[in-house]
């Protein structure tokens, strides 16, 4: 489920990722456990969770919650999701690609 995936992401967030990435990602998820979720890799310490990010998002991604979980568990490559229309990215595409390192 999405909430569990975000708990794992929160546990993986490190100062190193924050320094290397410097971006805030907002996810608009549809389906089960849908809604607005975020990964903040800009603010000191970083964070992840449900709701709007604490600061303005640099990248907004829209997809189904099922595809999100597949993407973060390695069953769906981000580029494949994007090319097949399962993932929509608004704004900084280069920054969006940097999130793949965290997967």
Write down the pTM of the prediction. 0.92
Structural domains present in the chain: 1-102 (3.30.1050.10)
Q: Is 17 helix (H, G, I), strand (E, B) or coil?
A: helix
**Distance in angstroms (rounded) separating the CA atoms of residues 54 and 75:** 29
Per-residue pLDDT reduced to its tens digit, 52-94? 999 999 999 999 999 999 999 999 999 999 999 999 999 888 8
pLDDT band of residue 103 (cuts 50, 70, 90) is low
């Amino acid at each position: 489920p999405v909430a569990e995936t975000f708990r794992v992401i929160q546990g993986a967030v490190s100062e190193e990722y924050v320094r290397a990435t410097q971006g805030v990602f907002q996810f608009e998820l549809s389906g089960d456990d849908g809604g607005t979720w975020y990964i903040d890799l800009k603010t000191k310490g970083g964070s992840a969770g449900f709701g709007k990010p604490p600061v303005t998002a640099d990248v907004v991604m829209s997809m189904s919650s099922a595809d999100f979980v597949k993407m973060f568990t390695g069953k769906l490559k981000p580029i494949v999701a994007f090319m097949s229309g399962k993932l929509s990215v608004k704004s900084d595409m280069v920054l969006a690609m940097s999130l793949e390192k965290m997967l």
